[in-house]
Chain A
Amino acid sequence: MEDKKTVSVPRERVDDVVVRFAGDSGDGMQLVGSQFSTTTAVLGNDLATYPDFPAEIRAPAGTLPGVSGYQIRFSSYDIHTPGSVADVLVAMNPAALKMNLIDLKKGGTLIVNSDAFTTRNLERVGYSSNPLEDHTLDGYRLVKVPITDLTRKALESSSIPSKEKDRCKNFFALGITYWLYNRSTDVTEKWIKDKFKAKPDLVEANLLALKGGIEYSRAVELFQSTYVVPPAKMPPGKYRSISGNTAVALGFITAAQRAGLTLFQGSYPITPASDILHELSRYKHFGVVTFQAEDEIAAITSVIGASFAGCLGITTTSGPGMALKGEAMGLAVMTELPLVIVDIQRGGPSTGLPTKTEQADLLMALFGRHAESPLPVVAAATAGDCFWMALEASRIAIEHMTPVILLTDGYIANGSEPFLIPAVEDLPVLKPRFATSANGAGFQPYVRDERTLAREWAVPGTPGLEHRIGGLEKADITGNVSYDPLNHEHMVHTRAEKVARIANDLPPLEIYGPDSGELLVVGWGGTYGAIHGAVRRAVDKKLSVAQVHLRHLNPMPNDLGDILKRYRKVLVPELNTGQLSLLLRAKYLVDVIGYNKVQGRPFGTEEILTVIESHLEANKS
């Protein structure tokens, strides 16, 4: 495609593009979406992705519930969200068109597989006439391509069965978009060769389809111009594209290595957390133990056992699994063992929206156990930040001898972004405090470090440290069973104080924007990108707005209370009905304003900016 002689259409420069692929869940949209993002990342654009797929693995073909989408935004400058409206929509069938047209901007490019617009498919999704023929799509640049037929033609020489040939049409569509945005096919060619290396005819077929899409676009001058998006200016270094779930997995391997511990993951499959189990199970050569337990409770209790025995124990789950783990978390709080519970939040309650994002587990993370059962809670802000927060959660667990909850969400778990690869030697070293000898009359498991109040980690197999722990209340210091009323009160306060003291080690909060002013926007978790994009634009417009994003939710940073009071208004956007708002109001007596959405979808930058501006307007009046 770099052969300039045959390029007869002009190339234009653009700086910020959103492309969405949409089709049946069996059409391979997630696959081509991720290929487009990797290719784009390697070209040096900043990018953010938003895979959006149904909970059903294969809903009936051609139906609305079966539509799977993958959105990628890429840019020549740094961006933080996958965008809310698309410049280009690739719709592989009428259902995909119907579900996604609303998100295509007016005048946007609509590439459809016209072969799929049969009377039957149209009727199935409630189109009474063909939108490609009537005036439904008048406001868009409609590009009708008989993708099914053209793919078959491109694969004429291939010997694979025709059903298999039809499955290659996603690569034909990918070829069209590569042509449109002048993307190199190198990354995808390599991927295809790797993926199908055992089946050479599939390698050939998919390559033919990919190139067929490009050749066709060129030959028929499918577009009046093609586009170039120059690389973004980003901090220097080596980058890779990373999704939140992969970043979590790598973060824990890193934590275990930097602590000199075996990583033990006990998990039960659950959407959208299973990918962490898939990822970690590939790394046996790092000595990683992955244990697919019989249920969520066995997942966390096996981890508690492994932590008792000296491993860095982690369990990964989503809301319903968190609910099941509650009692075991209480045991970990009582026995003061280091482990990390990762909750990839999804819409709820109950089974809810398994594949859609939400931030509604914050209060459960803080309070979802019986009795006074405090534990540290941290949350990742972006896909790449999942790496750093997995490391941070592990640090807190190991250094403070406590279970820690790490919250991410379906949006950053599946979405990906460029990740500046850290140098191993720059990564923190984590220091477990293993008991090696008796610390009193025999070994006393509840003797504490004066500064942190953490107890020592006494691992079975160590001679002379034989001791018993368990869920019953502990006598201070000795750890013997105690029902003494004053001891219980003392221990409740001690456990709380131990968690509270974690705040003493936290760095000051970063404030983006002015140190004081009209409006402070406080967020937490995966909404960082949308909030930051909006606040940055507000600051660029010289509005008196600043952003603070919380990664530590319990304990909260020591300087938060003071910061909150330096602004006239505090706005808290959350993908729930106001959970952080409730906490900030209760803890700091600040009359925060919530901006809340529970649609299973992330915030958009424009959306937050509009809210910011409306509050600043109100300040004036």
Chain B
Amino acid sequence: MIKPASPETTSTLSKKDFATDQEVRWCPGCGDYAILNAVQSVFPSLGVPKEKFVMVSGIGCSSRFPYYMNTYGFHTIHGRAPAVATGIKIANPDLDVWVITGDGDALSIGGNHLIHAMRRNIGIKILLFNNRIYGLTKGQYSPTSEEGKLTKSTPFGSLDRPLNPLSLALGSECTFVARSVDVYQQHLMQTLRQAAEHKGTAFVEIFQNCNIFNDGAFDNFTERAVRAEMNLELEHGKPLLFGAKKDRGLRWTGQSFEVVELGNGITEKDILVHNAHDPEPTFAFGLSRLTPPKAPMPIGVYRQVDAAPFEERVWGQIRHVKSQKGDGSLEKLLSAGDTWEVKE
């Protein structure tokens, strides 16, 4: 929840105010460091007093995050962070509640809480660090691992079909859905700022490299040599063009997106213009189906629509009932219904 900056508590905030004295215990080279850096860089500029931030996590490498943020923090249990965060946000809508989770935490053990948080539109920010592997338990395949993955628990290849986090979020009609990458620092910070400004549930998938158990999982679109050709940066109101020369784009076939090159009769007019505010999640869902190498990886904000957050509706209903019935009286409550008097 973004409020006008209160000069006493926020104007002097800097990145180091958000660092704790705890030693960061991620593996050297882990993508989590980059995400921590981006979050600590963005928070001071949000105009939110430090005491109003609450970082909530589940279990996994990413879920150690709250220990490294000098805010209120709650390292909960596996998969349950969205539910704990929901309780916090309803209890005090004034708090700025961020959930830090991973692909196993959010999509496997905690899948139910994730979809219900999103369909309710509770005003929390969910950062899903997707490294497509279980890191903390030392290298089993995750719900986002590609089929056939060779891991400790699948020596002959995994048989599970992977889950697409953005398709799931859009299917749950999440009101803010975005994607970024650990190593795209500027893009990541910009995406985090957009998420922070959103009222309602903001879901951000962040591709995060696990250099120990799944190194290079995203190289086919994040390597500098292919980055321009293999990423499509989504911008509301702009055509879905990509490539170093912006000479390729996405055309809507009526069923799905196809990648086309401009020229040979195809002009910019054939390229769909991205409308993040479309009330229907259909086109955004189409975008979420695109994956390299057949198509570029869309990054940025897929969807951002305005809808009253759940916690506002909870308290709105309470205010409404109070306005109808007046403040409840305990005395009247205890002696409600049929009563009778027993005399001495």
Known contacts A285-B326, A298-B83; is-contact A262 B91 (Cβ 8 Å):
yes
Least CB distance, B301 to chain A, in whole angstroms: 26
Give every chain A residue within 8 A of B69 (Cβ-Cβ): 468
Nearest B-chain residue to A232, judged by Cβ: B342
Are A303 and B343 in touch, CB under 8 angstroms? no
Known contacts A234-B342, A424-B334; is-contact A286 B328 (Cβ 8 Å):
yes
Are A301 and B87 in touch, CB under 8 angstroms? yes
Are A471 and B77 in touch, CB under 8 angstroms? yes
A36-50 interface bits toward B, Cβ cutoff 8 Å, 1 = contact, 0 = none: 001001111000000
Interface size class of B (residues with CB under 8 A): 35 or more
Give every chain A residue within 8 A of B27 (Cβ-Cβ): none
Known contacts A41-B338, A44-B342; is-contact A309 B112 (Cβ 8 Å):
no
B75: contacting residue among A41, A327, A472, CB under 8 A: A472
Are B74 and A305 in touch, CB under 8 angstroms? yes
Are B95 and A467 in touch, CB under 8 angstroms? no
Are A284 and B321 in touch, CB under 8 angstroms? yes
Give every chain B residue within 8 A of A241 (Cβ-Cβ): 337-338
Nearest A-chain residue to B82, judged by Cβ: A298
Known contacts A285-B325, A294-B113, A421-B339; is-contact A460 B72 (Cβ 8 Å):
yes
Interchain CA distance A310-B91 in the complex, whole Å: 7
- Does residue B314 face the partner (Cβ distance < 8 Å to A)? yes
Known contacts A460-B95, A466-B71, A467-B73; is-contact A302 B87 (Cβ 8 Å):
yes
Interchain CA distance A205-B51 in the complex, whole Å: 62
Nearest A-chain residue to B56, judged by Cβ: A305
B90: contacting residue among A234, A291, A460, CB under 8 A: A291
B87: contacting residue among A264, A288, A297, A471, CB under 8 A: A264
- Does residue A507 face the partner (Cβ distance < 8 Å to B)? no
Which A272-290 residues have a C-beta within 8 angstroms of B?
A: 283-289
- Does residue A236 face the partner (Cβ distance < 8 Å to B)? yes
- Does residue B335 face the partner (Cβ distance < 8 Å to A)? yes
Interchain CA distance A234-B343 in the complex, whole Å: 9
- Does residue A571 face the partner (Cβ distance < 8 Å to B)? no
Which B314-331 residues have a C-beta within 8 angstroms of A?
A: 314, 317-318, 320-322, 324-328, 330-331
A311: contacting residue among B57, B91, B116, CB under 8 A: B91
Are B51 and A464 in touch, CB under 8 angstroms? yes
Which A138-156 residues have a C-beta within 8 angstroms of B?
A: none
Are A289 and B67 in touch, CB under 8 angstroms? no
- Does residue A295 face the partner (Cβ distance < 8 Å to B)? yes
Comparing A207-215, A249-257, A431-439, the segment that makes contact with chain B is A249-257
Give every chain B residue within 8 A of A294 (Cβ-Cβ): 83, 112-113, 116
Which A14-66 residues have a C-beta within 8 angstroms of B?
A: 38, 41-44
Least CB distance, A295 to chain B, in whole angstroms: 6
Are A236 and B342 in touch, CB under 8 angstroms? yes
Nearest B-chain residue to A237, judged by Cβ: B342
Interchain CA distance A422-B333 in the complex, whole Å: 11
- Does residue A308 face the partner (Cβ distance < 8 Å to B)? yes
- Does residue B50 face the partner (Cβ distance < 8 Å to A)? yes
Which B11-57 residues have a C-beta within 8 angstroms of A?
A: 20, 22, 49-52, 54-57
B95: contacting residue among A44, A284, A298, A309, CB under 8 A: A309
Known contacts A295-B112, A308-B74; is-contact A285 B322 (Cβ 8 Å):
yes
Are B340 and A239 in touch, CB under 8 angstroms? yes
- Does residue B84 face the partner (Cβ distance < 8 Å to A)? yes
B66: contacting residue among A266, A286, A310, A470, CB under 8 A: A470
Which A460-502 residues have a C-beta within 8 angstroms of B?
A: 460-472, 480-481
Interchain CA distance A235-B342 in the complex, whole Å: 7
B330: contacting residue among A238, A424, A464, A467, CB under 8 A: A424
Interchain CA distance A308-B70 in the complex, whole Å: 17
Interchain CA distance A590-B279 in the complex, whole Å: 70
Are B92 and A460 in touch, CB under 8 angstroms? yes
Give every chain B residue within 8 A of A308 (Cβ-Cβ): 74, 84, 87-88
Are B76 and A298 in touch, CB under 8 angstroms? no
- Does residue B61 face the partner (Cβ distance < 8 Å to A)? no
- Does residue A187 face the partner (Cβ distance < 8 Å to B)? yes
Interchain CA distance A463-B80 in the complex, whole Å: 27
Are A236 and B344 in touch, CB under 8 angstroms? yes
Known contacts A467-B73, A470-B75; is-contact A306 B339 (Cβ 8 Å):
no
Give every chain A residue within 8 A of B88 (Cβ-Cβ): 305-306, 308-309, 460
Nearest B-chain residue to A427, judged by Cβ: B330
Least CB distance, B326 to chain A, in whole angstroms: 7
> Can you show 24 pairs from A to B with CB atoms below 8 A apart?
A38-B338, A44-B340, A231-B342, A235-B342, A236-B344, A250-B333, A254-B330, A254-B334, A262-B91, A264-B87, A283-B333, A288-B318, A294-B112, A294-B113, A305-B56, A305-B83, A306-B91, A308-B88, A459-B92, A460-B52, A461-B92, A466-B71, A466-B73, A471-B77
Closest 9 pairs (CB-CB, A-B):
A305-B87, A470-B75, A302-B87, A286-B328, A309-B91, A468-B73, A284-B321, A298-B83, A460-B72
